[in-house]
Structure 1
Amino acid sequence: MTVDEMTQVRELRADAPVADRARLAPGRARLLETALTGKRSRVARGRRRPLMIAAVFVAVTAVVATATLLIDGHRAGREGTPATAPGLDLKGMSAPELLEFAARTVQEQPPLTEPRADQWIYAKETQEGDDDADFALEKWLRYDGAELAFHPRPGAEDPGELETIEVNLEGRGDEYDDRSPRQMYRFLSTLPADGEGTLEALREENALVDDKSLTQAENDYAEISVLLDAYVQPPKGLAGLYRALATMPGGELVDHLVEDEAGQYAVAVRFPEPGRKGGKHADEWLLDPVTFEIVGERMIEDGEVAGGNAYIVKAVVDEAGRRA
């Protein structure tokens, strides 16, 4: 989502009255459909989906939502005294070195048990831009991509009853990159743990049709970015993504831990935004400083955070509405 789109969302929120569910339902369904399937730019359409959906929730419900964030985080190392893994000196590392360290760390984790098709991915995350746009969002997406559930008034004292919408991600064909969590997981499971092998597999899959205006590296980066956003990531596949990301030009490691909108600490690695020439436009990937899993991403414009999302909780649950 661009800065202009975020501004439009804030304007929609400013003075609009709270509408009843009957009046909101048709517009919500249409906007969610657009958010999930609308043709977006080559770089933005897949990896910006969490931001896009969040903006739709706020725009449709037309309320000002002030989030009450969880005090206790779900990942070790992200609260309290900032700390990284033992022996890790961010000031003395390059982005490729950090990503290789992260790849080795995640690769040592035991294999994941794949969720059932009827289970749900629960995510509570912050959405950040400027002070007027910050809020927390809860959503549930079925593992097979059949349904999406959410509360209509995120952050409110009374968020309203849980609403569920059919989205059928796996039935959309390959024109848009709206793969379900299951499709993402199963493709990631096929990736080798090495960077070059992962790049070869991504090019062969070609889930996002290459943009001829971009370089091969920029197209590769867009493919990697989509998969870094996947809700369920097998360790070997994530290790391969990190090693492939390490080959991308222009990567920079922030030499200190950064604090996300939920007050959680993370390691930040920046890469130039494909297709943006000049200025300081970058994607900033946030990694847990202990597990080195992806815990969020931010958009950097002219050196400042212009938007992003960071997970407070992410879990597999048996039904929509459950949090653990």
Structure 2
Amino acid sequence: MDELTRVRELRADAPTPDRARLAPGRTRLLEAARADERHRALWRRRQFVIVGGVVAAVTAVAVTVSLLLGGSGGDRKVQPATTPGVHLKGVSASDLLNRLADEVEKQPDAAVPTAKQWIYTKTIEEPVKDPKADQYKNLPKGALKLMTGPQESWLRYDGTAQAGWNLDTKGEKLKLQVTEMHLENGAEGDDRSPREMYRTLAALPSTAEGTLKALREQNAIADDKGASQSRNDYAEITVLLRADVMPAKALASLYRALATVPGGKLTDHLVDTGAGRRAIALTYDRAGSTPNGSAMREQWLIDPQTYRVFGMRLLDGNKIATGSITVSTSVVNAPGDRG
């Protein structure tokens, strides 16, 4: 069987692209990181689509940045990086988050999108796939780009539609596909639109205590009765950290609330990412371990200049299991626009 026939057969059985396909990478990491919580999430992760035998991985929180694409595939270890003026040695995770909150709070907010506008996001998966690898060498150009290159998605602000690239019927070229959605005012278990998420964020108090109280009362992520309060708080906070549109004061509130959650570990140097951008790395252990007994950890990647989250990855010991970096994001007027 040739590779093109295989792509066509797999694509024929695949469901219509959903948010996870359009914002690639989101599901695999979040499913791995929260396998024991996914049935409880109010803002649950959507199903993923298999295309050409490659499973799309996770989307992290968007921040408007422009990254140099690069890196290589395989079991790439987390590598240190250095940038003049950034000093992390001897700083605790709590101290850093409170310091970032104070700085983020000063930032001006961009205009809030209108209901008919779209949020464009471009991401790159970690570990970065090598398009020259043997497993991809016989694929058509369109399929190769879809499987190994940066991924693009569009989501309407009111949650009524999404768009993303898909293979044509021949499995050779990419076409932009728009799909209707109904994300607002859904029942428990349904995703929320960016507009609803923004309203939730904008209503958060400025203090850590006030934010935690508000999140516990809303209980968007049903509490795990077998977990500690801090673990349930972490689940609530990190769901909101992945919002598509984030008011500066809301991010400051989330940082202050996260600073109260024990267990955070700050890497004492900037780390490199598969997208070629250095990041502040803040890591939290997760419950359980891999089949080989190693510890699994969630690592949040923060831009050292904007102080905003632009990626998240899952670490298996000291190796990157999977993750996603936001290359750029913007508010646009139509699917296909990039701002």
Q: TM-score, normalised by structure 1?
A: 0.77
Name the structure 2 match of 1:139. Answer: 153
* 2:18 aligns with one of 20, 27, 32: 32
Name the structure 2 match of 1:62. Answer: 52
Aligned mates of 1:200, 1:282 — CA distance in 2: 26
Q: 1:184 to 1:207 in 2, by over 3 A?
A: same
Secondary structure, aligned partner of 1:162: strand
Cα pair 1:260 1:266 within 8 Å, conserved? yes
Q: Counterpart of 1:297 in structure 2: which amino acid? A: M
Name the structure 2 match of 1:127. Answer: 125
Q: 1:213 to 1:149 in 2, by over 3 A?
A: same
Q: 1:83 to 1:33 in 2, by over 3 A?
A: closer
What are the equivalent positions in structure 2 for 1:153-164 lying under 5 Å apart? 153=167, 160-164=174-178
Secondary structure, aligned partner of 2:112: coil
Aligned mates of 2:220, 2:54 — CA distance in 1: 37
Aligned mates of 2:44, 2:195 — CA distance in 1: 16
Aligned mates of 2:271, 2:238 — CA distance in 1: 20
Secondary structure, aligned partner of 1:272: strand
Name the structure 1 match of 2:78. Answer: none
Q: Counterpart of 2:83 in structure 1: which amino acid? A: A
Q: Does 2:284 match 1:271?
A: yes
Cα pair 2:118 2:155 within 8 Å, conserved? yes
Q: Could you give the per-residue CA deviations for residues 208-230 of structure 1, whole angstroms, max 9, x where no partner exists?
A: 11121221111111111111111
Cα pair 2:97 2:259 within 8 Å, conserved? yes
Name the structure 1 match of 2:215. Answer: 202
Aligned mates of 2:333, 2:226 — CA distance in 1: 44
Name the structure 2 match of 1:109. Answer: 107
Q: Structure 1: 5+ residue runs without aligned partners?
A: 1-13, 66-72
Aligned mates of 2:261, 2:4 — CA distance in 1: 44
Q: TM-score, normalised by structure 2?
A: 0.74
Secondary structure, aligned partner of 2:14: helix
- Hey, which bits of structure 1, 4+ residues long, moved more than 6 A? 33-37, 47-50, 76-79
Name the structure 1 match of 2:197. Answer: 184
| RMSD between superposed Cα atoms in Å | 3.7
Secondary structure, aligned partner of 1:83: coil
Name the structure 2 match of 1:83. Answer: 83
Secondary structure, aligned partner of 1:161: strand
Q: Could you give the per-residue CA deviations for residues 63-98 of structure 1, whole angstroms, max 9, x where no partner exists?
A: 779xxxxxxx9638989x9536x4x41112111111
* 1:306 aligns with one of 313, 321, 326: 321
Q: Counterpart of 2:270 in structure 1: which amino acid? A: L
Secondary structure, aligned partner of 1:91: coil
Name the structure 2 match of 1:99. Answer: 97
* 1:43 aligns with one of 21, 37, 43: 37
Name the structure 1 match of 2:336. Answer: 321
Question: CA shift at 1:187, angstroms?
Answer: 0.4
Aligned mates of 2:299, 2:159 — CA distance in 1: 27
Aligned mates of 2:197, 2:287 — CA distance in 1: 22
Q: Counterpart of 1:169 in structure 2: which amino acid? A: L
Aligned mates of 2:105, 2:159 — CA distance in 1: 27
Aligned mates of 2:209, 2:315 — CA distance in 1: 28
Question: CA shift at 1:140, angstroms?
Answer: 0.5
Aligned mates of 1:48, 1:83 — CA distance in 2: 36
Percent of aligned pairs with the same amino acid: 39
**Of 289-298 and 299-308, the range deviating more from structure 2:** 299-308
Secondary structure, aligned partner of 1:17: helix
Cα pair 1:77 1:288 within 8 Å, conserved? no
Aligned mates of 1:76, 1:175 — CA distance in 2: 33
Aligned mates of 1:16, 1:245 — CA distance in 2: 49
Aligned mates of 1:119, 1:33 — CA distance in 2: 16
Q: Counterpart of 1:75 in structure 2: which amino acid? A: V
Question: CA shift at 1:179, angstroms?
Answer: 1.4
Q: Does 2:180 match 1:166?
A: yes
For CA contacts below 8 A with separation 6 or more, give which structure has more relative contact order.
Answer: 2
Q: Counterpart of 1:43 in structure 2: which amino acid? A: E
Q: Counterpart of 2:330 in structure 1: which amino acid? A: A
Question: CA shift at 1:113, angstroms?
Answer: 2.0
Q: 1:320 to 1:200 in 2, by over 3 A?
A: same
* Larger helix share, 1 or 2: 1
Aligned mates of 2:174, 2:100 — CA distance in 1: 40
Name the structure 2 match of 1:19. Answer: 8
Cα pair 1:150 1:163 within 8 Å, conserved? yes
